[in-house]
Amino acid sequence: MLRIAIPNKGSLSDSAARMLHEAGYRLRTESNELVVVDEANGVEFFYLRPRDIATYVGSGQLDIGITGRDLLLDSAAPAEEVLKLGFARSTFRFAGVPGSAGSVNDLAGMTIATSYPGVVAKHLAEHGVEAAGIVRLDGAVETSLRLGVAQVIADVVETGATLAHLGLEVIGEPIMHSEAIIIRPFGADASHPPAQRFLRRMQSVLVARGYVMVDYDIAARHLDKAMALTPGLESPTISPLHREGWSAVRSMVPADKAHTVMDELAAVGARAILATRIHACRI
Ligand SMILES: Nc1ncnc2c1ncn2[C@@H]1O[C@H](COP(=O)(O)OP(=O)(O)OP(=O)(O)O)[C@@H](O)[C@H]1O
Ligand SMILES: O=P(O)(O)OC[C@H]1O[C@H](OP(=O)(O)OP(=O)(O)O)[C@H](O)[C@@H]1O
Ligand SMILES: [Mg+2]
C-alpha cells in the first residue's frame, strides 16, 4: 500500500484535503482520525504536522507527502519536490520596523527571529552574512520585534496584511517563493506504479481545474483561424455537422483565458460556443 503523509492542520490542510477528494480518495470524517486506509485505491493516509512531513518522507518511512516548499527546505530532509500544487502560495521574507535594514547584507550582527531557522541560515550563508543569532519561535513571529526578542524577523508573507497591521516593512528581495508541493525521498524509484498513479491523479486535478472544455460550430472556411485560437492540449476534435460545410470543434482551453478565447472565436465566425468545466481527467 502506498503510504502518504498529509497535513493535519494549518494553511495547507483544507486545500490538500479538497484536492485529494477531487482526485477520488477517501478522507477522514473526524478530525481526530490520524490514519485512514483507502483500501479501494491502495493508499494509506497519515495525518501529520506539516512541519514533520518532510522528516517522515526523507527517512523513507512514508513514500510521498504533501507539504510546503519552505518547510521542505527548512527541514533539510533528504526528500525532493516532484509536483507543485498551486495552493498555499507565499513568499518568505525578512521584515522589520521601517529603516531597520535595506537588504540582507545589512543584517550582519543582528538577531533574527523566525520559525524557519534552516531557511534563514542557508540564505545568510549564501550571502556571506553573519547574524548575531537566530531565535527560533513557533509562530506570531512578528510580535517578537515589539517584545525586543529580535531586531528583524523572517516569516511567511502572503498578502502583507500582518506586517502592515504592525507597521513593519519587508527587507530586500524575497528569500524564497513557496507553495504546497508533493515530495518523495531522494532516490525513490520514479517508475514505482502506485506512486506514479497517485502523481497522475493529482496532476489530473490540476489540469481539470486549470482548463475548460470549449465546443463550437464553425464553417470550413474559418476553421484555420479557429484552430489557431483553440489548439488544445494535443489536438482538437473536429466532427462533421449535418449542415453542409460546417464542423463541430471540441478543445481544451486554459480556464483563465476562456472568455477571451470565446470572444475571439465569435469574431472569426464560430457559433454555439459553449464552455464546460472538466470534472475529472487523465492526461
Ligand atoms: N498566510 C499564509 N498564506 C499562504 N501560505 C501560508 C500562510 N501561512 C503559512 N503558509 C504556508 O503554510 C505552510 C506552513 O503550514 P503550518 O501548518 O506549519 O503553518 P500555519 O499554516 O501557519 O499553521 P499554524 O500557524 O496554525 O501552525 C508553509 O508552507 C507556509 O508557507
Ligand atoms: O501576509 P499575510 O497574508 O498577512 O500572511 C502572513 C501571515 O500568515 C501566517 O500567520 P498565521 O496566521 O499562520 O500565524 P502564525 O504566525 O502563528 O503562524 C504567517 O506566519 C504570517 O504571519
Ligand atoms: Mg502560521
Q: Per CATH, is 211-277 categorized as 3.40.50.2300?
A: no
Average pLDDT of the residues in 232-261 = 95
Does residue 170 register a pLDDT over 90? yes
Percent share of the chain, pLDDT over 90:
96
Compute the distance from residue 227 Cα to the ligand 1 centre, in Å: 43
Give domain limits for the chain: 2-88+179-188, 90-177, 211-277
> Distance between CA atoms of 98 and 69, rounded to whole angstroms?
28
User: In this structure, what C-alpha cell is assigned to residue 43?
Assistant: 493508499
**Which residues line ligand 2 at a C-beta cut-off of 6 Å?**
139-142, 155-162
Query: Rounded mean pLDDT of the chain?
Result: 96
Pocket of ligand 1 from Cβ distances under 6 Å: 9-12, 50-51, 68, 70-71, 88, 90, 139, 156, 158, 178
> 225: which 3 cell numbers?
483561424
Nearest CA to ligand 1 atom 1: 158
Q: How confident is the model at residue 283 (pLDDT cuts 50, 70, 90)?
A: confident
pTM: 0.94
User: For position 199, what pLDDT does the model report?
Assistant: 97
How remote is the C-alpha of 127 from its chain's centroid? 27
Amino acid at 129: V
Average pLDDT over residues 41-49: 97
Residue 64: per-residue pLDDT: 98
What CA–CA distances, in Å, run from 187 to 60, 79, 82, 257? 10, 8, 12, 38
User: For a substitution probing ligand 1, which of 6, 8, 9, 11 has the most ligand atoms within 8 Å of its CB?
Assistant: 11
Number of C-beta neighbours around residue 118 at 10 A? 18
Q: Which of 89, 64, 81 is CA-nearest to residue 181?
A: 81
Q: Ligand 2, from 120, 155, 168: best to mutate by most atoms within 8 Å of Cβ?
A: 155
Calpha distance 207→93 (Å, rounded): 31
DSSP state, 274? E
CATH class of 2-88+179-188: alpha beta
Set of cell numbers at residue 131: 547574524
Q: Is the ipTM of this complex over 0.90?
A: yes
Ligand nearest to the CA of 155: 2
- Ligand 2 centre distance from Cα of residue 246 (Å): 55
- What's domain 90-177's superfamily in CATH? Periplasmic binding protein-like II (3.40.190.10)
pLDDT at 191: 86
Q: For residue range 116-169, what is the model confidence (pLDDT) as tens digits? A: 999 999 999 999 999 999 999 999 999 999 999 999 999 999 999 999 999 999
For residue 189, the model assigns a pLDDT of: 87
Burial 172-204 (b: 16+ CB within 10 A, else e): beebbebbbbbbbbeebeeeeebbeebbebbbb
Query: Is the per-residue pLDDT at 8 higher than 90?
Result: yes
Distance, in Å, from the CA atom of 153 to the CA atom of 221, rounded to the nearest integer, reads 63
Nearest to 185 by CA among 44, 67, 81: 81
Closest C-alpha among 10, 67, 65, 3 to residue 36: 3
Task: Tell me the backbone φ, ψ of residue 34, rounded to 5 degrees.
Answer: -105, -20
Going from the Cα of 218 to the center of ligand 3, the distance in angstroms, rounded, reads: 52
Asked if 2-88+179-188 and 211-277 have one fold, the answer is no
In this prediction, residue 190 has a pLDDT band, given cuts at 50, 70 and 90, of confident
Percent of the chain scored above 70 by pLDDT? 100
Instruction: Name the grid cell of 171.
Output: 527587507
